[in-house]
Amino acid sequence: MLLFAGLAGFSLSTVPGCATVSSQHPFKMPGIDDGSRSARVWPAPPAVPRYAFIGHIYGESNVRDKDPNRGAMARFWAAVVGLDAKKQSFLDIVRPQQVATDSHGKIYVTDPGLQSIFVFDEILQEFAVWNERSLNFSLPSPIGITHAEDSVWVTDSELALVYRLTSNGEVMTSFGQGILKRPTGISFDRDGGRIFVSDTDAGDIKLFNIHGELIDNWGSAGSGPGQFNRPTYLIYRQNRLYVADSLNARIQIFDEQGNFIRLVGERGLYVGNFSRPKGIALDSDGNVYVSESYYDHLLIYNRQGKLLMSIGGSGPDAGQFSQPTGLWVDDRDRVYVSDMLNSRISMFQYLGSN
């Protein structure tokens, strides 16, 4: 089936003042019993379903908009140019890049379209926006994000920095000045205390300790095993690092020492092939998820790299995408897809292999 179309980090002592508290906004988390969940499952009956659609995360539209799916592209451009007076009063995601969760019911979304980080609280049913006003410094291009060591770690590709924030949005430190060129993806090795950052312009993976000190470099620019062409998102799980080697159209897997293990996927025009792989995540069964941003698909592989199934196609409907980017799977096996040009996070439930 063809697819369609110095080594030490520096502190933020130069930032004046302390972070202000971001105001809270109403939010309703999509869920099984709230009427927002579609009956859509994948694969379609009579096959055994493996995934069910949960809903979309937008922002205030999850509470106030009775039809948040309407005109997704129109919503995006209206938010950019400010044409829609009704939507101007709604605080929604514009251009999500990466999503991550913590163990306290919070969902973090980077949005360079609004130069902000959205923080959705599933328990309190509210959200906050961390931006220049609340942080007292600008985030012109927040991209990668993860939660570890009771902190939020975010990359800014334009400033070429990694910021460490408290869970309340207060700046603790930053690092990477003079070391990083264009950081995008970020992941954390809990056992080793290492932070992995994909440096897209440099074509390598840089490793830092939790103090922001550079401790290693993996790879170099190129097309061979262990080399990269514009690496973007990455994830470290089960002593393996998975890297979306985007312009080489493949996923590379490394062991905990940085030794190349194998590839997943290859360039091509068929479902399961890549053109621009971006987001990457793993579920509790070790299945590997990849967002194919050019062809608007979510692709699912097993541990050995065999394609299991796909969800997607271009469009605004449930299970369709428009340039999906970052991915995340939480500890409940809920799959989050940053559906960038549809201005939303799409949520699916992995139902298991049995």
Query: Which residues, other chains included, contact 131 with Cβ-Cβ below 8 Å and sequence gap of 6+?
Result: 22, 114, 115, 116, 117, 139
Structure tokens at 111: 């949005």
Phi/psi of residue 64, each to 5°?
A: -100, -25
**Can you tell me the distance from the alpha carbon of 5 to that of 17, in angstroms, rounded to the nearest whole number?**
49
Structure tokens at 74: 């129109």
Q: What is the pLDDT of residues 112-144, one digit of tens each?
A: 999 999 999 999 999 999 999 999 989 999 999
pLDDT(319) > 60: yes
Query: Which residues, other chains included, contact 329 with Cβ-Cβ below 8 Å and sequence gap of 6+?
Result: 281, 282, 283, 284, 289, 335, 336, 350
Q: How high is the mean pLDDT of the chain?
A: 88
Helical H runs in the chain? 61-64, 72-81, 85-88, 132-135
Long-range contacts of 239-246 (CB under 8 A, 24+ apart): 239/191, 241/187, 241/196, 241/205, 242/280, 242/282, 242/288, 243/185, 243/198, 243/205, 243/280, 244/185, 244/198, 244/277, 244/278, 244/279, 244/280, 244/290, 245/277, 246/276, 246/277, 246/278
Its pTM stands at: 0.88
CATH 3.30.465.10 fits 24-350, yes or no: no
Is there a contact between 349 and 330 (Cβ–Cβ < 8 Å)?
A: no
| pLDDT for position 7 | 33
Domain extents for the chain?
A: 24-350
Q: What is the pLDDT of residues 163-175, one digit of tens each?
A: 999 989 999 999 9
pLDDT band at 86 (very low <50, low <70, confident <90, very high): very low
**Within a 13 Å sphere around the CA of 63, how many CA atoms are in the beta-carbon half?**
14
Q: What is the mean pLDDT of residues 8-14?
A: 38
**Can you tell me the distance from the alpha carbon of 337 to that of 345, in angstroms, rounded to the nearest whole number?**
5
pLDDT band at 184 (very low <50, low <70, confident <90, very high): very high
pLDDT(193) > 60: yes
Q: What is the pLDDT of residues 30-61, one digit of tens each?
A: 975 444 444 799 999 999 999 999 999 999 99
| pLDDT for position 336 | 98
Q: What is the mean pLDDT of residues 264-275?
A: 90
25-34, 69-78, 130-139 — which one is most confidently predicted on average? Answer: 130-139
pLDDT band at 84 (very low <50, low <70, confident <90, very high): very low
Q: pLDDT > 70: what percent of the chain?
A: 85
* 65-79, 253-267, 284-298: least confident range: 65-79
| pLDDT for position 19 | 55
Q: What is the pLDDT of residues 195-254, one digit of tens each?
A: 999 999 999 999 999 999 999 999 999 999 999 999 999 999 999 999 999 999 999 999
| pLDDT for position 222 | 96
